[in-house]
């Protein structure tokens, strides 16, 4: 009976899917709920066989279709422009930016449930969307918020592992150490040791992924409070959602900071598969390392200054501008400062991108947030000035493929405005957010049975010989 109810609800939902298919092929709508509709695990259990068949058919029918030619430039140039990964949760367009399961950031802001009318999207809603391809109802998001709160329990040895590090250790080192210590509880590792069949891998991966996502804000806020506050841990508030709770556990109580955190976590969650952190998580996961091991590896990539650490670098750089020139800096002074940075052999942090070729939409939505809530903040004004000054200079350099600002050019001034002023901590916030994208894809990696990742490498000798032969032929 319960099963039949589920089936008829499903066919109602499927007809809604068809009605809304003009919005996006990969996004489906759900508005009525049965109890299994509220449960993310049940939703996935239903979706997975469909998607397994889809992949099997794709490979059988189109396995030999070419996706492009690999050039020597691509091999030497960090695999730019080489399509080589399957990543279901999001897709990046060089001009338009990221789409999460087909939805742009403004569409997510409009369609995903919020904590209050016209509020920012709840990251749990995005998690649901990434995992299922469906826009969740508020009831589904509330159920997932509750599930994440229930899973948000961190054993004491995790905090002790962090405490073993000097308090001056970089926050990303402390955070990644905490995530490694969480691994002791991996359900995937236990199941593998017991000999689980590969057809079932996704289930303990799901358990680990959801628990990891639920627990990382606790580990991250512990690091923050240990380093910068009184060291007292603030427990989870049962009345708050994921983003609100993270902000609360860091020690912030304002409504606007909670809203900022919801937006922050949502937009930093996922950026297709080739970025350093996502790719690392996927690569390590392909060896059947569990989600904790895979995500800890991803964090170590995120901690690099050309990737996630750029958010720290941006605020430190902006503060160095203010220290040297004051807050009321003229355009010419700012230009000189940018040239001084470039001439000393450094990059301008927060500008440029490996794939994007226009202003990052994640920058734009943070700019809109600032225009709404902190239009007169001097550092926001400086960020706006940089938006005018930096791109023409980078263009003049003649080698920068994308002179426009990326996500990291903006995030620091927003956090700084609400009192989170410790720039060295910023990449940890990026890391917590990215757990949502990386862990979602890890579940699908195991559900689809994706194999060990092992591309071919060659030497310079090999390349030279290959090119000689190609020329002679």
Residues assigned a catalytic role: 307, 353, 408
- Per-position x/- string for 100-139, each x denoting binding to ligand MLT as judged by CB under 6 A, each - no binding: ----------------------------------------
Among 406, 427, 433, 441, binds ligand MLT (CB under 6 A): 406
Q: Tokens representing 49?
A: 């066989």
Q: Site for ligand MLT (CB under 6 A): how many residues? A: 7
The nearest distance, CB 431 to ligand MLT, in angstroms, is 11
* DSSP string of 276-336, one letter each residue: HHHHHHHHHHHTT--HHHHHHHHHHHHTSTTTTTHHHHHHHHHHHHHHHH-SS--HHHHHH
Q: Is 275 in the site for ligand MLT (CB under 6 A)?
A: yes
Give the C-alpha separation, 212 to 472, whole Å.
55
Range 276-293 burial, b when 16+ CB lie within 10 A, else e: bbbbbbbbbbbebbbbbb
Q: Would you say 125 or 281 has its CB closer to ligand MLT?
A: 281
Residue 23 binding result from ligand MLT, ligand NMX, none, given CB thresholds of 5 to 8 Å by partner type: none
DSSP β-bridge partners for residue 268: none
Residue 399 binding result from ligand MLT, ligand NMX, none, given CB thresholds of 5 to 8 Å by partner type: ligand NMX
* Cβ–Cβ < 8 Å for 133, 163: no
Give the C-alpha separation, 94 to 404, whole Å.
12
Q: Tokens representing 129?
A: 């969307």
Q: Would you say 175 or 201 has its CB closer to ligand NMX?
A: 175
Q: Is 354 in the site for ligand MLT (CB under 6 A)?
A: yes
- Inter-CA distances, 450 with 130, 204, 279, 296, 415, Å: 18, 16, 14, 20, 38
Could you list the residues that contact ligand NMX (CB under 6 A)? 306-308, 310, 342, 347-354, 394, 399-402, 406-408
Q: Would you say 6 or 81 has its CB closer to ligand NMX?
A: 81
Element (H, E) at 312: helix 310-325
Q: Would you say 79 or 196 has its CB closer to ligand MLT?
A: 79
* Three-state secondary-structure class, residue 47: helix
The nearest distance, CB 105 to ligand MLT, in angstroms, is 12
The nearest distance, CB 355 to ligand MLT, in angstroms, is 6
Residue 369 binding result from ligand NMX, ligand MLT, none, given CB thresholds of 5 to 8 Å by partner type: none
Sort residue 456 into left (φ over 0), alpha (ψ -120 to 50) or beta: beta
Binding stretches for ligand MLT (CB under 6 A) = 271, 275, 307, 354-355, 406-407
């Amino acid at each position: 009976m319960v099963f039949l109810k589920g089936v008829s609800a499903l066919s109602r939902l499927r007809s809604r899917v068809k009605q809304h298919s003009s919005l996006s092929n990969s996004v489906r709508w759900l508005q009525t709920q049965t109890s299994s509709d509220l449960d993310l695990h049940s939703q996935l259990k239903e979706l997975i066989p469909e998607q397994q068949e889809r992949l099997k058919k794709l490979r059988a029918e189109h396995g030999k279709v070419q996706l492009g030619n690999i050039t020597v430039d691509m091999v030497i140039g960090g695999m730019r422009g080489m399509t080589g990964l399957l990543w279901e949760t999001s897709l990046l367009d060089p001009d338009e930016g990221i789409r999460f399961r087909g939805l742009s950031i403004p569409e997510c802001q409009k369609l995903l449930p919020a904590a209050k009318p016209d509020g920012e999207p709840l990251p749990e809603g995005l998690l649901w969307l990434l995992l299922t391809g469906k826009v969740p109802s508020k009831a589904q998001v509330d159920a997932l918020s509750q599930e994440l709160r229930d899973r948000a329990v961190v054993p004491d040895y995790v905090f002790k592992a962090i405490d073993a590090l000097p308090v001056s250790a970089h926050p990303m080192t402390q955070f990644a150490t905490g995530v490694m210590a969480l691994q002791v509880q991996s359900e995937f590792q236990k199941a593998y040791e017991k000999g689980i069949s590969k057809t079932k891998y996704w289930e303990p991966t799901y358990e680990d992924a959801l628990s990891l996502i639920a627990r990382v804000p606790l580990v991250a806020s512990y690091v923050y409070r240990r380093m910068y506050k009184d060291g007292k841990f603030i427990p989870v508030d049962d009345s708050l959602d994921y983003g609100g709770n993270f902000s609360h556990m860091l020690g912030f109580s304002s409504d606007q900071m909670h809203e900022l955190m919801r937006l922050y976590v949502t937009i930093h969650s996922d950026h297709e598969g080739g970025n350093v952190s996502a790719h690392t998580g996927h690569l390590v996961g392909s060896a059947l390392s569990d989600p904790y091991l895979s995500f800890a590896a991803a964090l170590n990539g995120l901690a690099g200054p050309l990737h996630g650490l750029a958010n720290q670098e941006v605020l430190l750089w902006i503060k160095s501008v203010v220290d040297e020139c004051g807050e009321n800096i003229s355009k010419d002074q700012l230009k000189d400062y940018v040239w001084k940075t470039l001439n000393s052999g450094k990059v301008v942090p927060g500008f440029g991108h490996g794939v994007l070729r226009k202003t990052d939409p994640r920058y734009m939505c943070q700019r809109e947030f600032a225009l709404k809530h902190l239009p007169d903040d001097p550092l926001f004004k400086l960020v706006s000035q940089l938006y005018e000054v930096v791109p023409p200079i980078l263009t003049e350099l003649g080698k920068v493929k994308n002179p426009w600002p990326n996500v990291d050019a903006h995030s620091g001034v927003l956090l700084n405005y609400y009192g989170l002023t410790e720039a060295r901590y910023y990449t940890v916030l990026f890391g917590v957010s990215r757990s949502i994208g990386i862990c979602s894809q890890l579940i699908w990696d195991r559900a689809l049975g994706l194999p060990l990742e092992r591309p071919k490498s060659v030497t310079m000798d090999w390349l030279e010989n290959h090119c000689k032969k190609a020329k002679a032929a």
